[in-house]
Amino acid sequence: MENGAARQLSDFLASANKRELLALIRFLEEEAQEDDLFELFRLAGETRKASYGDRVFFRGLIEFSSFCKNDCYYCGIRRSNRKAARYRLTKNEIIDCCRSGYDLGFRTFVLQSGEDMFFSDEVLCGIVSGIKELFPECAVTLSVGERSRESYRRLFAAGTDRYLLRHETADEAHYAKLHPPEQALKNRKRCLYDLKELGYQVGAGLMVGSPFQTYETLAEDIIFLRDLQPHMAGIGPFIPHKETRFAGFPSPPPKSTPILLSLVRCLLPKVLLPATTALATSDKNGREKGLLAGANVVMPNLTPYEHRKDFSLYDNKLATGSEAAEGLSVLKRQIKGLGLKPDFSRGDHADFQKG
């Protein structure tokens, strides 16, 4: 019965049109009772279990540059924020972070930055190949924004396994309200399809509750994820930053992000789905709610302590406690308390697992 209900929801999401998806999202947000949401989250948990059992994969996050050439209206490290603290880690500093993470048990490193052109293909390839040389059994994920297909090809050849590039919104008009004219949704989508064709494990994703978002734009996001079939999906709540034009905008209700996580889990049963730092920042129980809604990845922070607050994408971002690598015992205890199993392996997408 349980697997049948999960399959029924997955089949619906796989074929529903925009109007039907919009109606489902509206119902879950506005009319669904606590029992309805509990059932949705339970189905998402069953779906996750079918592909990954009870495992929750750990990634070591290294935020290595807060410089960015872009001016996204919602982001605290946008180029026009003159109050942003800017820093860059050197190759040796990044490798030291990996070494610390390796000793803690991590076998995936996620290197994230603003779109910092100091990190050319040559520089980034040198960093990736240096990590791979020292830790050949580990996976390297990059999250460094929009680049050319040739750049992505070089980075893949250097040993990059995965690439995260959140699409933010799949609706053209909505995208234009969140970004300056020189940034185009068409190019972001081109990047995602290039990455897939080149052989990466690819991550897209969106902000839940971003300014001007509607049920219609969320339905567009579901349809885009269905078409793209990403291996990872970063889905977290919008949290305003005080130095952006959206400083006064609210974050979404606590239930909104778990609802979207569950829908994406049921749409893409094998997807790697983080319980994000933003979710834990917006709601003190957010990480647990995300994991109960089908998420199966957590990313403790390996960035040098003195720079963690400087990578300020949104206000009040957590950088200590169980968000930090130092809080691993707390995080592992939380996960075990939910009946799940901490897993420090590479944690590849099911279609990329060997054997």
> Which residues define the annotated binding site?
68, 72, 75, 143, 168, 188
- What's the Cα-to-Cα distance from 11 to each of 6, 75, 86, 231, 267, rounded to whole Å? 9, 36, 46, 19, 8
CB 202, CB 162: distance < 8 Å:
yes
Instruction: Provide the β-strand partners of residue 57.
Output: 297, 343
Element housing 58 (H / E): strand 55-58
- What's the Cα-to-Cα distance from 32 to each of 24, 67, 138, 151, rounded to whole Å? 10, 42, 42, 46
Binding site as annotated, residues for [4Fe-4S] cluster: 68, 72, 75
| Burial per residue of 102-132, b for 16 or more beta-carbon CB atoms within 10 angstroms, e otherwise | beeebbbbbbbbbbbeebebeebbebbbbbb
Helices marked H in 163-295: 172-178, 185-198, 215-228, 256-267, 277-282, 286-292
Distance separating alpha carbons of residues 250 and 233, to the nearest angstrom = 23
Binding site as annotated, residues for S-adenosyl-L-methionine: 168, 188
Distance separating alpha carbons of residues 333 and 341, to the nearest angstrom = 10
CB atoms under 10 Å from CB of 86, counted, come to: 14
At residue 108, φ and ψ (nearest 5 deg) are -135, 130
Number of H helices and number of E strands within the chain?
A: 13, 9
